[in-house]
Amino acid sequence: MSKETVDEAIDMYVKERMAKGKQLAITHFLANLYLKEQSEGIIECMRRVRGMTRYYIDLTKVMLNPFKGPEVAWLFSMINIAIYACFLISVEEQRMLGFALLSGTLVNGAYLILTMTRKWCDMHVMLAIYDEIVQIADHELETLA
């Protein structure tokens, strides 16, 4: 079984698990693997599923830190712009510009923090789903052995 087929099955499980629930996703996941692989190759297929899923778990754990990535650079830029906007508010002639700049920065900063939080939560959900896939593959390997 090719890596692409295993990757498709994992992706299908993740999408179905998020939309339709655990039991239906497990049933479709196993049916997909058993239909695409002959009976003598299913053990190797389950090992490949387990290995690729563990790789995805490791990759997701690396990306789990919300302070890594481009969002942090944008957040620090927003903080610098907010500091400059506060300076502009203190200058009498530039007060309106400072208020406009500060309000826009606060809105964009809040949206950025919300996006980072949502991404962080989604990563935790993905880790839990990948762990389920490893458990499914381990269970199938135990029943086949």
128 pLDDT above the threshold of 80: yes
Please state, for a pLDDT cut of 90, what percent of the chain lies above it: 34
Burial of 29 (0-12, 13-18, 19+ CB in 10 A): buried
Q: Do residues 57 and 130 touch, judged by C-beta distance below 8 A?
A: yes
What tokens does 144 get? 């086949």
- Mean per-residue pLDDT of the chain: 88
31 pLDDT above the threshold of 70: yes
CB neighbourhood size of 130 (10 A): 23
98 pLDDT above the threshold of 90: yes
Amino acid at 97: L
